[in-house]
């Protein structure tokens, strides 16, 4: 549960209250709704680091790809998604 | 993938190992705080490749592992109340309390649900208004903002049936507790990368200065870990004690201010018991007065549970870094991830589980 996982923001659902701003994030094909309130300027196409359902920082694309490959290979990604 | 090679590259790993061996002259003990780092060190066999003078001590950095049995007992007591839904992360559900785990309580009929995010627990509260939904909130600084957010959202949505059983722990006070123990032998720390993504660097300045220890904020890849160790050894050999950031591609010096603000809005610090370590002053977070109507401890009268830790499991020694998981007599015998005797075997970030999964690598040490 402690892991933070990078994914690609594929769409943003704006909300009047920033705390409820969400987006769809693809983690190597698995798409989840993620809260974006901590990253007010995150936009579609950005890579973000996600921890327990909220995006905690932006990541550059290469870094994100690296982490994803690594997590997928080690099976940690599946563990994290299942938990 | 260019970056993949860069951070896992064998040649780079060997260069770093060589550089560490070249500069090290004295024996040093370095503690990696975070369970994710323990995992990385064990799984990649780095532990066995380091020069003999360097001992890596695994820190208490797995929130599931340090949650004391008394808090789990509290959650179990809550889960058995009529109309209560007790939600938490998957790992937490499997950790043994004094006499059972939440999973066992669930099997016996309690409404215990595994969620990926506290916001999922909030959605349960929205969908099932007749139920009282309690989120068992464990974690370090990385997880606390998400839980703060769920509480603020609950308030804005006017929900009266969502509560948090706050059991968060903070990393810097634990580092201080370890350092101020007269038996302490730790010379330097690798601080946890993702915790610092939220909190930044500044909390570590006073610790580095007061105890004269290098603190290196470090990532999780083999190259990250070795760079962190190299930076620590360089400082140690030069007699320095600074905070350095190996993980600058992910950690801003100031952290994430919006996340810190959410935490301040909802939580206050409190004393907290850590499994294996005991009570550490100001090392936990509780729901503050402004949000007390969302505090499960205020809403439900809970029995005061005194913790009688299971004596069989030697988690206390493992979490203090004085016993290696493989030295525990139950390791891999009576205690496995399928049938864990203690928390460090349950969580994937736990030291015992890390050694179990990568025993091959560890055995070649
Ligand atoms: S191997 Fe099992 S019994 Fe031994 S310390 Fe680890 S979790 Fe506890």
Chain B closest-CA separation from residue A22 CA (Å): 11
Alpha-carbon gap, residue B340 to B331, rounded angstroms: 9
Residue nearest to atom 8 of ligand 1 (CA): B313
Across residues B250-262, what is the average pLDDT? 92
Say yes or no: CB of residue B342 within 6 Å of ligand 1. Answer: yes
Please report the domains of chain A, with CATH numbers, ordered by start residue.
Answer: 5-82 (2.30.30.140)
From the list B130, B129, B166, B141, the residue with the least C-alpha distance to B151 is B166
ipTM at complex level: 0.83
The two structure tokens encoding residue B16: 């770093």
The tens digit of pLDDT for each residue in B341-364 reads 888 888 777 889 888 887 744 444
The tens digit of pLDDT for each residue in B30-56 reads 999 888 888 888 887 888 899 999 999
Residue with the bigger pLDDT between B22 and B60: it is B22
Chain A closest-CA separation from residue B108 CA (Å): 21
User: Of all residues in chain B, what percent carry a pLDDT higher than 90?
Assistant: 60
For residue B161, the model assigns a pLDDT of 97
Give the architecture-level CATH label for domain B1-301+309-324. 3-Layer(aba) Sandwich (3.40)
Across residues B16-41, what is the average pLDDT? 92
The tens digit of pLDDT for each residue in A29-70 reads 889 999 999 998 899 999 999 999 999 988 888 777 777 776
pLDDT at B3 over 90: no
For residue A74, the model assigns a pLDDT of 58
Question: DSSP H helical segments within chain A, as ranges?
Answer: 61-74, 76-82
CB B183 within 8 A of CB B323: no
| Ligand 1 atom showing the smallest separation from residue B331 Cα | 1
Q: What is the distance in A from the centroid of ligand 1 to the CA of B354? A: 12
Residue of chain A minimizing CA distance to B261: A38
Q: How confident is the model at residue B306 (pLDDT cuts 50, 70, 90)?
A: low
CB B308 within 8 A of CB B176: no
Rg (CA), chain B: 21
pLDDT at B299 over 80: yes
pLDDT at B1 over 50: no
Lowest mean pLDDT among A46-60, B59-73, B265-279, B310-324: B310-324
Average pLDDT, chain B: 89
Lowest mean pLDDT among B140-154, B253-267, B300-314: B300-314
How far from chain centre, in Å, is Cα A74?
18
pTM over 0.95: no
* Residue found by looking up tokens 């936990």 in the block: B284
Q: How confident is the model at residue B62 (pLDDT cuts 50, 70, 90)?
A: confident
For residue B2, the model assigns a pLDDT of 41
The tens digit of pLDDT for each residue in B165-221 reads 999 999 999 999 989 988 888 999 999 888 998 999 999 999 999 999 999 999 888
From the list B156, B153, B121, the residue with the least C-alpha distance to B136 is B121
- What is the residue extent of each domain of chain B? 1-301+309-324, 325-362
Does A62 touch chain B if contact means CB atoms closer than 8 Å? yes
Across residues B237-241, what is the average pLDDT? 97
Rg (CA), chain A: 12
């Amino acid at each position: 549960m402690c892991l933070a996982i990078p994914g690609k923001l594929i769409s943003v659902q704006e909300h009047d209250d920033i705390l409820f701003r969400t987006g769809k994030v693809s983690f190597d094909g698995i798409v989840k709704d993620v809260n974006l309130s901590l990253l007010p300027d995150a936009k579609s196409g950005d890579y973000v680091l996600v921890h327990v359902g909220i995006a905690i920082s932006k990541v550059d694309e290469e870094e994100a790809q690296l982490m994803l490959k690594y997590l997928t290979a080690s099976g940690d990604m599946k563990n994290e998604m299942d938990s | 993938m260019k970056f993949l090679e860069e951070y896992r590259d064998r040649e780079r790993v060997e260069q770093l190992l060589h550089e560490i061996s070249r500069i090290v002259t004295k024996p040093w003990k370095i503690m990696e705080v975070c369970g994710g780092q323990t995992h990385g060190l064990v799984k990649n066999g780095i532990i066995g490749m380091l020069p003999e003078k360097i001992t890596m001590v695994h820190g208490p950095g797995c929130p599931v592992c340090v949650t004391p049995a008394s808090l789990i007992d509290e959650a179990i007591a809550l889960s058995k109340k009529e109309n209560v839904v007790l939600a938490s992360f998957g790992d937490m559900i499997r950790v043994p309390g004094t006499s059972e785990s939440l999973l066992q309580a669930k099997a016996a009929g309690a409404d215990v649900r595994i969620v990926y995010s506290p916001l999922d627990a909030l959605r349960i509260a929205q969908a099932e208004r007749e139920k009282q939904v309690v989120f068992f909130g464990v974690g370090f600084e990385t997880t606390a903002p998400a839980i703060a957010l769920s509480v603020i959202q609950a308030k804005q949505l006017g929900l009266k049936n969502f509560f948090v059983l706050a059991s968060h722990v903070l990393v810097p006070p634990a580092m201080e507790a370890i350092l101020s123990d007269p038996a302490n032998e730790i010379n330097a720390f690798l601080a946890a990368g993702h915790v610092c993504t939220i909190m930044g660097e500044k909390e570590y300045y006073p610790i580095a200065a007061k105890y004269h220890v290098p603190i290196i904020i470090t990532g999780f890849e083999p190259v990250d870990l070795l760079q962190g160790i190299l930076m620590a050894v360089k400082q140690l050999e030069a007699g320095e004690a600074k905070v350095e950031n190996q993980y600058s591609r992910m950690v801003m010096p100031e952290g994430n201010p919006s996340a810190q603000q959410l935490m301040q809005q909802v939580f206050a610090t409190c004393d907290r018991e850590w499994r294996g370590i005991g009570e550490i002053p100001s090392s936990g977070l509780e729901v503050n007065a402004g949000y007390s109507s969302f505090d499960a401890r205020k809403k439900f009268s809970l029995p005061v549970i005194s913790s009688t830790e299971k004596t069989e499991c030697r988690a206390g020694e493992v979490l203090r870094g004085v016993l290696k998981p493989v030295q525990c007599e139950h390791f891999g015998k009576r205690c496995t991830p399928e049938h864990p005797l203690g928390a460090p075997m349950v969580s994937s970030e736990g030291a015992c589980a890390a050694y179990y999964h990568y025993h091959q690598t560890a055995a070649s040490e």
